[in-house]
């Protein structure tokens, strides 16, 4: 099938559009990739004779440019790996796409109820783990170098609890590594805790997690607790073979079952976070078993090829 992916294409596959395009190509589709800044974008899609146009976000993109493509008979899909709804400040961009797309596919299932009328249909699609992009050959159990690892920035306006909890972990003397480094320097967190001064991607991300006994995940504390408002960091952590300790969200069992594939803590309770850290550091066999089962589960059920094939299955049902 002829498919166009519209997104950010920077040559290093660090963006979702690039990896989704690669997965579709592996499945035998004729895939055209266009950056949001492509001149005369609608005409290029029409010339390619794409049956499906899949847009990967694009908050600043003028989505009305795709109206001629829709009029020409292509099926327009917007894939939304975000936890905002139109009622949130960060989700106001939804009004730019209202009425344009045939289908919205969202990773945060709890926002679907707020999107009625924004497209012909709105469905939940699970996150994916790209086992090709995040690859690392060393075995986790033999290479752990630090107890706790967190890969992400502070974004204080959204995640004040994240910063507060990490500052408490440092104050409590925890063996902690953070990546990337530079964005954290404005939060009074010592650079000594930084793994690198730059973003970790692809195999570097997998290597970071391979050297971490417990991978931490924090959520955006400024948003309502939407069902399955879970960062893709969770799949990246588990898929790379690291034990995940994440803030609990409604519906997490749909993706990772606590106690089997990961562990969860109360996101409002630092003592609960610290208790879980101490427990799983003191019970390495249990931690390693959960990490191994979590990795196998993600690689089997949420690998990029399976999830992206699901994209096409769902789209075909509605074309």
Domain locations along the chain: 2-128+303-318, 140-301
Q: Selecting from 3.40.50.2000, 3.60.40.10, 1.10.10.10, 2.40.110.10, what CATH number does the domain 140-301 have? A: 3.40.50.2000
Regarding the domain with residue range 2-128+303-318, which homologous superfamily does it belong to in the CATH classification? Glycogen Phosphorylase B; (3.40.50.2000)
- Which phi-psi region, left, alpha or beta, contains residue 224 (left: φ > 0; alpha: ψ -120 to 50)? beta
Helix 304-318 × helix 16-26 angle, to 10°: 80
Residue-wise pLDDT tens for the chain (319 aa)? 999 999 998 766 668 899 999 999 999 999 999 999 999 999 999 999 999 999 999 999 999 999 999 999 999 999 999 888 998 888 899 999 999 999 999 999 999 999 999 999 999 999 999 998 887 644 444 467 889 998 876 666 667 788 888 889 988 989 888 876 444 444 555 544 555 545 556 677 888 888 899 999 987 776 667 888 888 889 999 999 999 999 999 999 999 999 999 999 998 899 999 999 999 999 999 999 999 999 999 999 999 999 999 999 999 999 9
H or E stretch including 238?
A: helix 233-239
Interatomic CA distance for residues 242 and 180, integer angstroms: 18
Question: H-helix or E-strand containing 233?
Answer: helix 233-239
Question: 314: buried, middle or exposed (CB in 10 Å: 19+, 13-18, 0-12)?
Answer: middle
Q: Same fold for the domain at 2-128+303-318 and the one at 140-301?
A: yes
């Amino acid at each position: 099938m002829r498919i166009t992916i519209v997104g950010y294409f920077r040559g290093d596959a660090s963006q979702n559009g690039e990896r989704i395009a690669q997965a579709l190509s592996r499945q035998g589709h004729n895939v055209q990739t266009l950056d949001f800044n492509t001149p005369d974008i609608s005409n290029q899609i029409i010339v390619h004779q794409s049956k499906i146009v899949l847009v990967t976000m694009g908050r600043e993109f003028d989505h009305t440019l795709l109206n001629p493509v829709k009029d020409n008979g292509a099926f327009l899909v917007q894939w939304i790996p975000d936890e905002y709804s139109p009622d949130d400040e960060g989700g106001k961009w939804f009004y730019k796409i209202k009425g344009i797309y045939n289908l919205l596919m969202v990773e945060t299932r709890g926002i679907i109820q707020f999107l009625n009328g924004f497209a012909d249909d709105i469905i939940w699609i699970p996150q994916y783990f790209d086992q090709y992009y995040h690859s690392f050959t060393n075995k986790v159990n033999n290479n752990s170098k630090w107890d706790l690892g967190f890969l992400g920035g502070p974004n204080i306006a959204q995640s004040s609890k994240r910063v507060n909890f990490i500052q408490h972990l440092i104050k409590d003397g925890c063996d902690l590594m953070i990546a990337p480094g530079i964005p954290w320097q404005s939060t009074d967190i010592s650079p000594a805790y930084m793994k690198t001064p730059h973003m970790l991607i692809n195999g570097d991300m997998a290597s970071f997690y391979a050297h971490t006994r417990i991978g931490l995940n924090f959520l955006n504390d400024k948003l309502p607790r939407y069902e399955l408002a879970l960062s893709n960091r969770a799949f990246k952590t588990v898929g790379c073979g690291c034990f995940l300790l994440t803030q609990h969200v409604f519906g997490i069992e749909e993706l990772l079952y606590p106690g089997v594939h990961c562990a969860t803590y109360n996101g409002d309770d630092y003592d609960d976070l610290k208790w879980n850290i101490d427990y799983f550091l003191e019970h390495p066999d249990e931690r390693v078993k959960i990490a191994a089962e979590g990795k196998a589960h993600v690689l089997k059920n949420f690998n990029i090829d399976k999830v992206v094939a699901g994209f096409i299955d769902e789209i075909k049902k509605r074309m």
